Amino acid sequence: MGIQAWTYTLVFLSFAIYIGIAIWARAKSTKDFYVAGKGVHPIANGAATAADWMSAASFISMAGLISFLGRDGSVYLMGWTGGYVLLALLLAPYLRKFGKFTVPDFIGGRYYSQTARLVAVVCAIFVSFTYVAGQMRGVGVVFSRFLEVDITLGVFIGMTIVFFYAVMGGMKGITYTQVAQYCILIFAYMVPAIFISVMLTDSVIPQMGFGSTLADGSGLSLLDKLDKLHVELGFSQYTSGSKSTIDVFCITAALMVGTAGLPHVIIRFFTVPRVKDARISAGWALLFIAILYTTAPAVAAFARTNFITTVHGKSYAEAPNWFKNWEKTGLLTWQDKNGDGKMQYFGENKAQSPGIGENELTVDRDIMVLANPEIAQLPNWVVALVAAGGLAAALSTAAGLLLVISTSISHDLLKKVLMPNITERKELLYARLAAGGAVLVAGHFGANPPGFVAQVVAFAFGLAASSFFPAIILGIFYKRMNKEGAISGMIAGIVFTAGYIIYFKFINPAANTSENWLFGISPEGIGTIGMLLNTTIALVVAKFTASPPDEILKMIDDIRVPVSTGRNI
């Protein structure tokens, strides 16, 4: 079968599995809808957490970023991986012991304030919509190439699938769907990586192939060859970095603390029966995540090497099929600037490589992982498998984010603030309506995203870092933190960070250069400054306002101090 036939087959089968699971595990109560009845096994929850956390940014865009940025792309690896460790060890057990459904619920209860709850609801919705835009963009990219439909139509198809199993199943349906999605996405990521590692380096383990000697008899290692190719074509060395140290630090920190503040990941630890199970599932999730994240640098290097060697200097008339297939999507373009009929791929460093010409290729970074099997001429079923894996990664995270939005509206806004006497049946109805409305908005952002997938996701992490993280960490470990401090900090942090991103990405994109950035920090890293601003304002305001009530102080002690017996351990 051809690539398209294989893709239709595998995508249809995976969608059938997702919908079947949603029907089997449909939510029958608000507890099922919000936290899957708190009855998920730790291993299953670990797999679901890994799928929820490893979004389209991890599967599709991260290796693509590394393949273009080289060492600079490592900030995404360090930030997201370190952030998950921070979340698993420092926050998850305490939040699970608190026993509430959502992050706004924790903030509203810890800071004894409906205003704090409302601010947290707004932050959760804002962060989640920013994040889900990247997922829907990933869905559109996959559909536009492999099913040969317009990106907007691809986004609409993805919206329909997510709407069905998120609205029907709630957290219960999403959890078991995400277990299946993890199995699909990790298999889809590893199979081509192993194939290409063997082809290039004779190593069956991609992580080892990344640093191995090439099998072409040149005696060069993979990274040495990439460095050599980059220098010859006028790019910076693949293993060198061009970002400033402060920007690397801030992006990494923003991704780390943003991960720890992401509401759709935090809520996963409420779905297990006990606090002990939350710790166990966090460990399993870290193992499941590590499989993909330790493979990503190798995939990036494989893709970059194969792309350059199969395209640069080749006649367009003899261009491989994969090139012309991706051209149809508009995500890969060639302009014959010198009229010689050959595809020239050059960087801008003419001082380093005086003989280079003008670049004729424009490549969207989000295509590298998806195009990698085609470039390496792997079997058609492997190419289709990667498409199914990319969809699984995007849809799993999108579903988790949409659930956060719906629960923030139905539980935290309606039930806790505006309509406290609402029945459980009506609350569940409003949750499903909110999820449906969120799908429509997410689809719009997916069709009109503010950047490539990983960049959009980085903005979401920065917003989470500047809003939620200080309020959560201070709420657990600093008893003196009060509602006035938390509210002031959250508002200041997210307004500053969102304003900075909006200015450089939408109002004045021409000024989006390191010379104009505050302290040389890019919009992707500004969440770190927003977090520090949030923390500083929160601490100062708390110092000059009233201490929290005694019952709040006792509640914090109960959260922080382990109990020797009982169900919560």
List, for residues 241-265, the tens digit of each pLDDT value: 677 889 888 988 888 888 766 666 7
Query: Once rounded to an integer, what is the mean pLDDT over residues 163-188?
Result: 77
Q: How far apart are CA 442 and CA 459, in angstroms?
A: 16
Q: Count Cβ atoms within 10 A of the Cβ of residue 47 and give its class: 0-12 exposed, 13-18 middle, 19 or more buried.
A: buried
Q: What are the tokens at 38?
A: 């708190």
Q: What pLDDT was estimated at residue 565?
A: 42
Q: What is the pLDDT of residue 190?
A: 93
Residue 112 pLDDT greater than 80, yes or no? yes
Per DSSP, 57 falls in state I
What is the biggest distance separating any 2 CA atoms in the chain, rounded to whole angstroms?
79
Q: pTM for this structure?
A: 0.79
3-state secondary structure of 562: coil
Q: What's CA 269's distance to the chain center, in Å?
A: 18
**Stronger pLDDT, 265 or 542, i.e. the higher one:** 542
* pLDDT value, residue 567: 44
Query: Of the ranges 75-79, 354-358, 380-384, which is most confident?
Result: 380-384
pLDDT of residue 566: 45
Give 128's contacts (C-beta < 8 A, 6+ positions apart).
263, 264, 401, 402, 404, 405, 408, 438, 460
Spell 239-266 as b/e; 16+ CB within 10 A means b: eebebbeebbebbbbbbbbbbbbbbbbb
How confident is the model at residue 26, as a pLDDT? 65
pLDDT band at 36 (very low <50, low <70, confident <90, very high): low
Q: Is the dihedral of CA 177, 178, 179, 180 positive or negative?
A: positive
pLDDT (tens digit per residue) in 285-337: 888 988 998 999 999 999 899 898 888 888 888 888 888 888 887 888 888 88
Residues 125-174: tens digit of each pLDDT? 777 777 777 777 777 777 777 777 777 787 787 777 777 766 665 667 77
User: Mean pLDDT over all residues of the chain?
Assistant: 81
**415-445 residue pLDDT tens:** 777 887 888 778 778 877 887 777 777 777 7
Strands 332-334 and 361-363: antiparallel
CA angle 415/421/422 to nearest 5° reads 60
Contact status, residue 307 vs residue 229, Cβ threshold 8 Å: no
- Cβ neighbours, 10 Å, residue 506: 9
Closest of 389, 422, 3, 357 to residue 190, by C-alpha: 389
As to burial, measured by CB atoms within 10 angstroms (0-12 exposed, 13-18 middle, 19+ buried), residue 546 is exposed
Q: Mean pLDDT throughout 474-483?
A: 90
Q: 485 falls in which pLDDT band (50, 70, 90)?
A: very high
Structure tokens at 81: 């991986």
Tens of pLDDT, residues 498-536? 899 888 887 888 888 888 898 889 888 899 999 999 999
Q: Could you tell me which residues come within 8 angstroms of residue 484 by beta carbon, excluding any fewer than 6 positions away?
A: 541, 542, 545, 546
Instruction: Say if residue 103's pLDDT is above 60.
Output: yes
Tracing tokens 């291993």 back to the chain, one arrives at: 43
How far apart (Å, rounded) are the C-alpha atoms in residues 23 and 429? 17
453 has a pLDDT exceeding 60: no
The crossing angle, in degrees rounded to 10, of helices 114-146 and 483-502 is 30
The answer to whether the beta carbons of residues 101 and 403 sit under 8 Å apart is no
Name every residue whose Cβ is closer than 8 Å to that of residue 163 and which is 6 or more positions away in sequence. Answer: 435, 436, 439
- pLDDT tens profile 38-60: 667 888 888 888 887 777 778 87
Residues 264-284, mean pLDDT to the nearest whole number: 76
At 100, which amino acid appears?
Answer: K
**Whole-number pLDDT of residue 105:** 80
Q: What pLDDT, on the 0 to 100 scale, is given for residue 488?
A: 94
Q: Which of 458, 96, 84, 103 is nearest to 285 (CA)?
A: 84
445-449 CB contacts, 8 Å cutoff, 24+ apart: 445/129, 445/130, 445/132, 445/133, 445/136, 446/132, 446/133, 446/135, 446/136, 446/137, 446/139, 446/140, 446/155, 446/158, 446/159, 447/136, 447/140, 447/151, 447/152, 447/155, 449/133, 449/134, 449/136, 449/137
* The pLDDT of residue 408: 77
Confidence of residue 384 (pLDDT cuts 50, 70, 90): confident
- Percent of all residues in the chain with a pLDDT value above 90, rounded to a whole number: 11
Is the pLDDT confidence value at 537 over 90?
yes
- What's residue 568's pLDDT? 45
